[in-house]
Amino acid sequence: MKMSQRQAVAYIGAYLWRRERFGMLFTLVFAIYLGVINSAAIDGVLGGEEDVPRAINGLIDWVTLAMYPIFGMVMNKSSWNMWRDDYYSKRLAQWRTMPIPAASIVRARMLQSAVMLPIIGGVYLLAQYLLTPALRDYVTPMQWIENGLIWMCYALIIIPVIILMELGYTGKQYCLVYFGLMIAVALLSIVLTWQGVNVFHSVLNLIKDGYGPVTILGMAVVAAASVLIGHKLTIERIRRRSLPL
């Protein structure tokens, strides 16, 4: 007899908390560290310092584009050893021997990211705002919140892809796609910087021009579609997977 959706999600959620709470804490600490380091670069760019290298704009964009999705992921020993150990596939195989619907596994995992992202992303945003005088002069607290909502919607567009790879494919395949995304974002940041385009700065200017709410709405619609599609594809992929015993 299979568990109900609520029972299964609660069981997996409790398991993930027991097993990965220190990884969630490490992600939080990493976000604070990143916010502190990145604040100096942002302060230089927004403060109009003439000796700031052009590459700093690309670095800010890369950090912003690459790190926001990570705020919804767990950084621990298991995730770092995915290439060799493939712990997530073993864990999934164990869950599939239990009366747990595949949909509950996906929902619990997505719920984990949905809880982590606003908490860790919010701390990251707060650290940047408090430690960057030029940023406080450039945008109001409400405008900075709008900026955070835009980037969190962006993260919710990317996270379902990462969860699909995490639950639907082997550790090696997951690592190849994950690092492929990181490299693609780095190349995109380099090209945009070369063309004189700064994504981070452009989003702030968009908000200052009064387009924050409509941008948030549009990004939220795309994020919702990504979550729904990712949810469906991940369930179908789990049901088709041949898992290790």
pLDDT, tens digit, for every residue of 171-190? 888 888 888 998 999 999 99
Asked if residue 164 is part of any domain, the answer here is yes
Question: Residue 146: what are its φ and ψ, rounded to 5°?
Answer: -60, -40
Asked if residue 111 is part of any domain, the answer here is yes
Count the domains in the chain: 1
| 235 confidence band (pLDDT: 50, 70, 90) | very high
- Number of H helices and E strands in the chain, helices first, is 10, 0
| Residue numbers of the domain that contains 26 | 5-240
Asked if residue 96 is part of any domain, the answer here is yes
133: pLDDT strictly greater than 80: yes
Asked if residue 103 is part of any domain, the answer here is yes
Q: 184: helix, coil or strand?
A: helix
Looking at residue 54, what DSSP letter applies?
T
Find the mean pLDDT for residues 53-77: 87
| 204 confidence band (pLDDT: 50, 70, 90) | very high
Q: What is the pTM of this model?
A: 0.90
Asked if residue 149 is part of any domain, the answer here is yes
| 245 confidence band (pLDDT: 50, 70, 90) | low
pLDDT the model gives residue 6: 77
pLDDT the model gives residue 242: 78
Distance in angstroms between the alpha carbons of the first and the last residue of the chain: 21
Measured CA to CA, the distance from residue 187 to residue 163 in angstroms comes to: 23
Asked if residue 245 is part of any domain, the answer here is no
